[in-house]
């Protein structure tokens, strides 16, 4: 079974030099730290041991998006993408890459996405949620979506720490317990961000735009029925935007989900049922999650062979096309 993994991270200095997780790993988990920074033999060894054929690499959260100096963030994004493109060129049959974007400057982010996919050969971009409290439904990001649609470059919307106001209102008493992180806060943040994009009408204006989200859909497949049922029932009793479709229909036409870091059979069953087998793709969330665990889940979950092939690799090949190599002899 061919496996293509999409949400697989790496760290790169200077962008990752002060990253809280990387700093913690350096002291408490040197093996994890080495895996995070490696884009060579150690990573390939881990992939080979699990039977993973191809990884699409992305700069570790938050990338450059928390840099307060916008000009520096734009420069770091460009340098990070040049550096990642070198990694891909050195081993194109094992690695692809998502571009890093400095979303502090929407116009620069749009220009860098175009450069990354048309000149550097990267497959799309990974954006780490909001940028210092600014979400992608801001009209300033429409040029970015226009480029993504025009170049058929998917955008992977990755979680980040919730908005500061949400942190204060919801999570402040439980930060030591990590409630704001991967156990709950990341999914609540990312899922809400996707709904903001849907409700804003972005996918009506850019119907070819394709979004990817991880962790079996950031809780959205489970909630899709109620989201549709109560869409438009705000204070005025009706939506002022008038979407062309119900929210869940955009999930099935403009959003893909990956298994990254959520190897739970009941949750996977729900995701497959709601999204359909053509919209689910394999991922690990390496090195935060284990390649072997992800690959074993993919191999052992009870589904027919055609569905397994779609999730394992065929859906990714269809989505990215010629931007990833012929890893299954197409």
Q: Which residues participate in catalysis according to the annotation?
A: 285
CB 216, CB 282: distance < 8 Å: no
Sequence-distant (6+) residues with CB within 8 A of 20 are none
Secondary element (H or E) of residue 223: helix 220-230
Which pair of tokens denotes residue 285?
């969330």
φ, ψ of residue 100 to 5 degrees: the values are -90, 135
CB 191, CB 161: distance < 8 Å: no
Strands 211-213 and 255-258: parallel
- Work out the burial of residue 280: count CB atoms within 10 Å of its CB; fewer than 13 is exposed, 13-18 middle, 19 or more buried: buried
Strand locations in the chain (E): 4-10, 54-59, 95-100, 124-128, 155-158, 211-213, 255-258, 280-281
The residues with which 280 forms a beta bridge, in sequence order, are 257
């Amino acid at each position: 079974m061919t496996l293509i993994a999409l949400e697989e991270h790496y760290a790169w200095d200077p962008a990752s030099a002060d990253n809280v997780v990387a700093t913690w790993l350096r002291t408490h988990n040197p093996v994890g730290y080495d895996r995070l920074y490696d884009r060579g033999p150690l990573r390939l060894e881990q992939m080979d041991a699990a039977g993973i054929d191809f990884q699409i690499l992305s700069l570790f959260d938050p990338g450059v998006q928390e840099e307060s100096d916008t000009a520096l963030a734009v420069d770091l994004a460009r340098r990070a993408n040049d550096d990642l493109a070198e990694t891909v060129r050195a081993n194109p049959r094992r690695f692809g890459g998502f571009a890093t974007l400095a979303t502090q400057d929407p116009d620069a982010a749009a220009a860098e996405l175009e450069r990354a996919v048309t000149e550097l050969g990267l497959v799309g971009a990974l954006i780490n949620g909001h940028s210092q409290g600014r979400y992608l439904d801001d009209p300033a990001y429409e040029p970015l979506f226009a480029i993504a649609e025009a170049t058929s470059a998917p955008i992977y919307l990755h979680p980040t720490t919730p908005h500061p106001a949400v942190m204060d209102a919801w999570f402040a008493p439980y930060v030591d317990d990590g409630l704001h992180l991967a156990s709950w806060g990341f999914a609540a943040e990312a899922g809400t961000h996707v709904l903001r994009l849907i409700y804003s009408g972005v996918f009506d204006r850019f119907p070819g735009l394709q979004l990817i989200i991880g962790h079996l859909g950031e809780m959205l497949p489970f909630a899709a029925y109620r989201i549709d049922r109560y869409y438009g029932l705000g204070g005025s009793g009706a939506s002022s935007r008038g979407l062309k479709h119900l929210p869940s229909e955009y999930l099935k036409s403009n959003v893909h989900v990956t298994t990254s870091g959520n190897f739970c059979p009941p949750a996977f069953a729900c995701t497959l049922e709601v999204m359909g087998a053509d919209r689910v793709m394999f991922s690990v969330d390496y090195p935060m999650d284990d390649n072997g665990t992800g690959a074993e889940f993919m191999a052992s979950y009870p589904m027919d062979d055609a569905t397994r092939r779609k999730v394992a690799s065929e859906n990714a090949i269809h989505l990215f096309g010629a931007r990833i190599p012929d890893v299954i002899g197409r």
